[in-house]
Structures are given as C-alpha cells and as structure tokens.
Amino acid sequence: MTSSEKPVRILILGTGNMARSHATAYGSIPGVELVAGVDSRPEVLTAFCDTFAIPNRFASLEDAIAWGGFDAASNVTPDAAHHPTTLALLNAGKHVLCEKPLATNAGDAREMADLARAKGLVGMVNLSYRNVAVLDKAAKLVADDAIGALRHFEASYLQSWLTQPAWGDWRTESQWLWRLSTEHGSKGVLGDVGIHILDFAAFAAGSPIRELSCRLKTFAKAEGGRIGDYTLDANDSFTLQAELVNGALGTISATRFASGHLNDLRLRLYGTKGGLEVLFEKQAETLRICRGDDLSEANWRDLTADPVPTLYQRFVAAVRSGKTADPDFDHGAGLQGALDAAERSNAENGRFLKI
C-alpha cells in the first residue's frame, strides 16, 4: 500500500465455502483489513473468523450495520438473499461486491443498480472469469478490430459433476442436491453458470445480447425424480441462440453432463478479418488467432496474455477511488435480464425474445 492509498475495511456477509475465496483474495491485497464476519450459523461463523483472524462477529446484518466499522462488504449469501441484504448495505452507505447472480430476477437487480448509482457507491458483481487473462486480451483484440466486424460466435460452459465423483457424490450430498431442486432455490445450470458464459461471450464480443431463444432440459436422474427431500426438477442443460447488439449471431450453451470436462469454458469468435479461440480448461488458459495470410490455410497461432488484476483488486481500487468498475451492478442487471428472457423463451417453446 502506498501513502496515497487508504486502508479498506471489509465485512464478509455469509461465511460458507465461497467466502473463503473472498477472504483469501483480500488477504493478498495490501492495506485491506478483514474486520467482520456475519452469519446466522454460530459454528460456521466462528470457524471462518478464527481461520482468517477476523475480530468482529455478528449473527445478523442489522447488528453489523449498527456497529458500522467497515467501508465495504463482500455479499456471499445465497442467491435469494442478495437483493435485500445488498439494499440494506447500500442504504447504510457501504460499497458492495456481490456474488453472482446479482439477484434472482431483473427487477430486483435493476433496483440494486439504481440504488448504488443514486448513492454514489461502488457496486460490483463477482463474475470470476473476468480474472482470465486470455479473455481480457480477446476483448481488447476485438475492440481493436483485429478480426474485423464480428459475425458469428460459439460459447459453452462444460461441467460433468452429474457423471463423475471428482467433487463428491451428488446423490448423497446436500451441497450438490440443492442445485438440482427448484424448491431449494436452484435455477439449474442456467442460473448457476449461465450468467458466467453469457458474460464470457458478451464481454469478449464487446456487445450485449439483444435477442435470444432458449431451450432448457431436465434429465431423469433418480426414481420418481426425487432423492429424499429434494425434487430433482432444475434444468441440467441449456442451449441458446443469441443476436448481439452489434449484429453478430451465435450459440451459447451449458451442461452438467459434459463427460470429460470438469469445469471448462470455450469461446470462438469469427469476424470479417479473422477468428479468435478462447479456452479455459483445467485452469489452463489458451488464446489462438487466425487472420491475414493464415486465413487461406486455416493456420491458428497461439497468443500470450499478461495477468490482469483480480476482481477483488479492482473492487478495492474502486472503493479507494470512489469510481465503480466493470462488471458493475448495471452490467449484472443486464445479464439477469438475459437470464429472465431465457426462462420465458423456454416457457414459450423457444420463441425469440428481445432483452
């Protein structure tokens, strides 16, 4: 931390598994102090705060706000809690980094974005794949006209935890079972990772989605469609056709049945002057380009990319400057509008809908 950088005091709201990623990331940023944790589960809260040497512990957000000894918060609560808790934090004058999705519907997300803007506060969404350096470079190449006017794209998010036990047995572990049940708050693979792959594609393309058509699919996974208290009715796969504001047409898909892929993202962008391929597989980054003299032989060349600041670093920098950074709440609200439209499109047998 330089003399011009003020300390930033962070509160962690929700202290489950993902909160550990937040705390670890903040711990590597000079001048950031983890000052408080909030969770209604005493044992979980104590274990988390002890691990990260967090001095102040609260059972409720109301108590933490009444105390007030923090500048900003990481909101790591379940999806349905993002809206009311973020509004409370913003109304208390606190900056917020909120886990994705920003809310469970576009109306709530828009209310959050409007309030952050009205209060002059930093509101950012933790779209973690913005930390992928090759994605950032691809976006800059598109913006710099390296592949010409964008015409077509393909994007996919491939998971396979319904076909292999790498992360545990989804048939017996509630941490996975809830993701398969709408009654337990899941919106399926569309709600869980759809926001990531929509952002992955739109960010690199430099253009939001204007219109889309979507189909969702839930596969039979257990006798009677149930395991214990869990009705397994959330979608497992989706395919989506989309037209971007810049006119490009393409496909976006995600599934939990991509055998052979643990947690992989792929993006291909095709323009009038060339093509780009972005891969993030097994935590390894790949960026390839084909353009100019290589087009006639379809030769692809590997590119390198310098590391980019993490989203946590950008959030802290934004809090210090008072100027919000991308992906902000307005962007998160736009993505939620696309997810809402995808659900409506599926309900209407895949009809194309404007965002």
As a whole number of angstroms, the distance between CA 157 and CA 40 comes to 33
HSE-up (13 A, CA, CB side) for residue 102: 31
**Burial (0-12, 13-18, 19+ Cβ within 10 Å), 210:** middle
Task: Confirm whether 1 is domain-assigned.
Answer: no
105 three-state secondary structure:
coil
Tens of pLDDT along 174-202? 889 999 999 988 899 999 999 999 999 99
- 2 in a domain, yes or no? no
Digit-coded pLDDT (tens) for 17-65 = 999 999 999 999 999 999 999 999 999 999 999 999 999 999 999 999 9
69: in domain: yes
Number of domains in the chain: 2
This prediction has a pTM of 0.92
Average pLDDT of span 288-292: 98
Taking residues 151-173, report their average pLDDT. Answer: 95
The answer to whether residues 223 and 193 belong to one domain is yes
**pLDDT tens digit string along 206-265?**
999 999 999 999 999 999 999 999 999 999 999 999 999 999 999 999 999 999 999 999
Q: What is the CATH number of the domain that holds 290?
A: 3.30.360.10
**For residues 158-187, average pLDDT:** 92
Residue 331 in any domain: the answer is no
45 near 15, Cβ under 8 Å?
yes
* CA–CA gap between residue 64 and residue 62 (Å, rounded): 5
Residues 17 and 134 reside in one and the same domain: no
Residue 2 has pLDDT above 70, yes or no: no
> What pLDDT, on a 0 to 100 scale, did the predictor assign at position 3?
38
Mean pLDDT of 117-144: 97
pLDDT above 80 for 4: no
In single-letter form, the type of residue at position 243 comes to E
Q: If you average pLDDT over every residue of the chain, what do you get?
A: 96
Check whether residue 246 and residue 137 sit in a common domain.
yes
- Contact, 297 vs 286, CB < 8 A? no
Same domain, 285 and 317: no
Torsion of the alpha carbons at 156, 174, 102 and 70, rounded to the nearest 10: -130
Q: Is the pLDDT of residue 11 over 90?
A: yes
Please tell me what DSSP assigns to residue 134: H
Query: Residue 99 sits in which domain range?
Result: 8-128+313-325
Report pLDDT digits (tens) over 250-287: 999 999 999 999 999 999 999 999 999 999 999 999 99
Domain match, 201 and 293 both? yes
Q: Report helix, strand or coil for 86.
A: helix
